[in-house]
């Protein structure tokens, strides 16, 4: 089963896009729920985004330099259940 | 170590702390998934303050709380379901779906809906305690607030009146070292908050807030004093937040070594180890308990996701107090 992750509502100013900084986990790598997979920068701070499920990171749907609105798909995790 | 307490009571404390941790972690992921709107203020790491205090109160005693109130609510006996329903904005939520994360409460269970204004609950708690005293009721109030609230005028005005009138209220300061991102020593010269009580002529005490039994015992003593007409009492509970001020706070201001030192004093791990040393539970039992709590939480999430939302007709209900008919 595939779980798609959306950009969480981390911005302190409503409607501001969130900048993608760096992927910490590569496509095909195992991830655990709660593990940091991506670093982003909001209008206020650099933040880490944690995986919401345990499995394999199957897609990175955004790239460093992208500015992404809250709620947009950012990653997919293949859950082994 | 665990004194003369009954095993069921001690295991109950552990289960309640695990329930709070699971609730907060579970809600964190619901937020990350986008299933839950808004922001949340969580209390991972501060479970022993909530559970230690509330386990020493009677069910008809009251608490007041803050925007970081999920743990207080669960400790005072609110159910995971009524709180999750509230977070999902459902009509079956403890505040009818109109309060959300920062206004958890249930008057029937002795919790005034939490007040999101820093120090806002302190005068209110003193007022409730005054009414109990005037009506000769045996109840007391425990008033939770953070270290950031101590510099507010409301704190000083309320504790002064409470002291003057010997009101039955326990002022519970959860000192987690930071008011949002500001460290306590940047905003006060005397960082021992319990000392404030002496200035107003009543008793204050600093307690290890990550030791659930120490908190429970201190609260029992404070409660006995309040019931004997010798209130109020100030309890300063030293603890640490394992998470951001809100979901949007990456806690870059907490130094790594400080974090590690406090994480090593995690209230749940410590108490579980203590109970294991006393032979009340084994490692497998703790694991099983966590799994049971997780399962219950997940079942409650499924119910909350499909719970009925308030309708337009509910807009004007719960806004004004109903007129009492003589």
Which of A8, A11, A42 has its CB closest to that of B32?
A8
Q: Domain containing B135: what range?
A: 7-246+254-304
Is the pLDDT at B171 greater than 60, yes or no?
yes
Percent of chain A's residues with pLDDT above 70: 99
Average pLDDT for B7-14 = 97
Is the pLDDT at B1 greater than 60, yes or no?
no
pLDDT digits over B151-163, tens only?
Answer: 999 999 999 999 9
In a domain, B325, yes or no: no
In a domain, B293, yes or no: yes
CA distances from B151 to A42, B154, B179, B219 (A): 30, 9, 10, 23
Average pLDDT for B89-95 = 95
* Chain B: closest CA distance from residue A57 (Å): 16
In a domain, B321, yes or no: no
In a domain, B318, yes or no: no
Which of B25, B33, B248 has its CB closest to that of A12?
B248
**In chain A, what are the domain boundaries?**
2-78
Q: What is the pTM of this model?
A: 0.93
* CATH number reported for the structural domain that contains residue B211 in this entry: 3.40.50.970
* Chain B: closest CA distance from residue A47 (Å): 6
CA distances from B251 to A22, B119, B260 (A): 19, 23, 13
* A52/B29 touch (CB, cutoff 8 Å), yes or no: yes
* B249/A45 touch (CB, cutoff 8 Å), yes or no: yes
State the complex-level ipTM.
Answer: 0.83
In a domain, B146, yes or no: yes
In a domain, B191, yes or no: yes
Q: How far apart are CA B94 and CA B280, in angstroms?
A: 34
What CATH code is assigned to A2-78?
2.40.50.100
Q: Which residues of B touch A44 (CB under 8 A)?
A: 248
In a domain, B312, yes or no: no
B63 prior amide bond cis, ω within 30? no
Q: Which residues of B touch A6 (CB under 8 A)?
A: 33-34
Is the pLDDT at A81 greater than 80, yes or no?
no
Q: A45 or A38: which carries more pLDDT confidence? A: A38
Percent of chain B's residues with pLDDT above 70: 98
In a domain, B87, yes or no: yes
* Chain B: closest CA distance from residue A8 (Å): 5
Q: How many Cβ atoms are within 10 Å of A32's Cβ, its own excluded?
A: 12
Question: pLDDT category, A9, cuts 50, 70, 90?
Answer: confident
Question: pLDDT category, B2, cuts 50, 70, 90?
Answer: low
The structural domain count of chain B equals 1
Question: pLDDT category, B324, cuts 50, 70, 90?
Answer: low
Q: A39 or B36: which carries more pLDDT confidence? A: A39
Would you state the pLDDT for residue B319?
82
Q: How far apart are CA A52 and CA A31, in angstroms?
A: 9
pLDDT digits over B238-277, tens only?
Answer: 999 999 898 788 888 999 999 999 999 999 999 999 999 9
């Amino acid at each position: 089963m595939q779980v798609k992750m959306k950009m969480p509502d981390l911005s302190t100013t409503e409607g501001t896009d969130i900048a993608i900084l760096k992927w910490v986990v590569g496509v095909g790598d195992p991830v655990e729920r709660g593990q940091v997979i991506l670093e982003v920068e909001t209008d206020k701070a650099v933040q880490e985004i944690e995986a919401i499920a345990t499995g394999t990171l199957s897609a990175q749907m955004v790239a460093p330099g992208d500015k992404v609105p809250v709620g947009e798909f950012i990653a997919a995790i293949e859950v082994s259940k | 170590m665990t004194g003369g307490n009954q095993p069921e009571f001690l295991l109950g404390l552990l289960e309640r702390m695990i329930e709070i941790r699971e609730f907060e972690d579970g809600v964190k992921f619901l937020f990350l998934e986008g299933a839950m709107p808004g922001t949340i203020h969580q209390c991972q790491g501060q479970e022993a303050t909530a559970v230690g205090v509330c386990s020493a109160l009677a069910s008809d005693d009251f608490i007041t709380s803050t925007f970081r109130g999920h743990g207080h609510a669960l400790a005072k006996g609110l159910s995971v379901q009524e709180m999750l329903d509230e977070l999902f904005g459902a009509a079956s939520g403890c505040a009818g779906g109109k309060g959300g994360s920062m206004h958890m409460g249930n008057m029937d269970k002795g919790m005034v809906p939490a007040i999101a204004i820093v120090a806002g609950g302190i005068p209110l708690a003193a007022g409730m305690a005054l009414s109990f005293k005037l009506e000769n009721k045996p109840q007391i109030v425990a008033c939770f607030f953070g270290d950031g609230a101590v510099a507010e005028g409301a704190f000083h005005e309320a504790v002064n009146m409470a002291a003057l009138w010997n009101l039955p209220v326990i002022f519970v300061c959860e000192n987690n070292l930071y008011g949002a991102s500001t460290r306590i020593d940047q905003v006060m010269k005397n960082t021992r908050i319990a000392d404030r009580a002496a200035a107003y002529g009543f008793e204050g005490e600093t307690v290890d807030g990550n030791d659930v039994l120490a908190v429970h015992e201190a609260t029992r003593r404070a409660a006995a004093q309040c019931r004997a007409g010798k209130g109020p009492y100030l309890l300063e509970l030293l603890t640490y937040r394992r998470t951001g001020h809100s979901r949007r706070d990456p806690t870059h201001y907490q130094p790594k070594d400080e974090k590690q030192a406090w994480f090593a004093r995690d209230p749940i791990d410590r108490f579980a180890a203590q109970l294991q040393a006393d032979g009340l539970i084994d490692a497998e039992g703790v694991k099983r308990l966590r799994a049971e709590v997780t399962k219950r939480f997940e079942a409650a999430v499924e119910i909350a996701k499909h719970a009925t939302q308030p309708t337009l007709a509910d807009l004007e209900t719960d806004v004004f107090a109903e007129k009492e008919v003589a």
